[in-house]
């Protein structure tokens, strides 16, 4: 399933990307009309806290998750409640730009990560679009624990 999170749900968008879901984040520069158009064109489920936007989307028959919840854990729970999370997809997307990550050889990132990270880890991934590099450090363990807790 593909998602579109409106401007009120940037942190949720990041977490959905962490869990491997293709998630478009509509920042404050994107109008409601454009959000509706993107949701339709790309067959994305819109996630919003905006009542007016939710109402418009329902009229347009766009898949929607509408809630008033502010707590991030509750938001994640509401979205992922009926979905299966593919463990192989966790950390497969860039949390910044949503692009799929690619494997990269350790030698290629030697000067791009802290020396301790380079020495401690063998597997690395990078985003071709924004050049961010990822590895399974302590943050990965915390994300997996958060998923288990939810």
Q: What percent of the chain has pLDDT over 70?
A: 99
Q: Check the CA dihedral 126-131-137-139 and report its sign.
A: negative
Number of domains in the chain: 2
In a shared domain, residues 22 and 52: yes
Q: Quick check: 147 pLDDT over 80?
A: no
Chain-wide mean pLDDT for the chain?
93
* pLDDT for the residue 108: 94
Tokens of residue 17, six digits: 């990307």
Q: Check the CA dihedral 139-91-16-84 and report its sign.
A: negative
* pLDDT for the residue 15: 93
* pLDDT for the residue 91: 87
- pTM for the structure as a whole: 0.89
One-character DSSP codes across 23-60: EEE--TTS-HHHHHHHHHHTT-EEEES-HHHHHHHHHT
Helix, strand, coil shares of the chain, percent, nearest 5, are 45, 15, 40
Please return the burial class of 110, using the count of CB atoms within 10 Å of its CB with bins 0-12, 13-18 and 19+.
exposed
Q: What are phi and psi of 104, to 5 degrees?
A: -140, 140
* Domain closes at, from 89, 111, 128: 89
Q: Quick check: 148 pLDDT over 90?
A: no
* 109 occurs within a structural domain: yes
Task: Specify the residue for token string 């380079």.
Answer: 118
* pLDDT for the residue 60: 93
Q: Quick check: 146 pLDDT over 80?
A: no
In a shared domain, residues 109 and 74: no
Q: Which of 87, 67, 75, 64 has the alpha carbon at shortest distance from 1?
A: 64
Instruction: Look up the domain containing 137 and give its range.
Output: 102-149
Region 79-108: what's the mean pLDDT?
92
Q: What percent of the chain has pLDDT over 90?
A: 81
- Tell me the per-residue pLDDT of 2-48, one tens digit each, with 9 for 90 and over: 999 999 999 999 999 998 999 999 999 999 999 999 999 999 999 99
Residues 6+ apart with CB under 8 A from 130: 94, 96, 97, 99
In a shared domain, residues 78 and 106: no
Find the length of the chain: 150
* 95 occurs within a structural domain: no
Region 117-124: what's the mean pLDDT?
94
């Amino acid at each position: 399933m593909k998602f579109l999170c409106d401007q009120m749900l940037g942190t949720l968008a990041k977490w959905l990307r962490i869990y491997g879901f293709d998630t478009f984040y509509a920042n404050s520069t994107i109008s409601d009309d454009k959000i509706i158009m993107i949701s339709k064109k790309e067959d994305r489920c819109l996630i919003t806290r905006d009542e007016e936007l939710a109402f418009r989307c329902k009229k347009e028959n766009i898949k929607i998750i509408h809630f008033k919840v502010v707590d991030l854990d509750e938001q994640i729970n509401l979205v992922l409640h009926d979905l299966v999370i593919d463990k192989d997809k966790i950390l497969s997307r860039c949390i910044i730009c949503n692009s799929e990550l690619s494997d990269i050889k350790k030698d290629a990132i030697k000067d791009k990560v802290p020396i301790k990270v380079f020495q401690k880890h063998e597997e690395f991934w990078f985003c071709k679009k924004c050049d961010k590099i990822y590895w399974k450090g302590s943050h990965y363990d915390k994300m997996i624990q958060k998923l288990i807790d939810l």
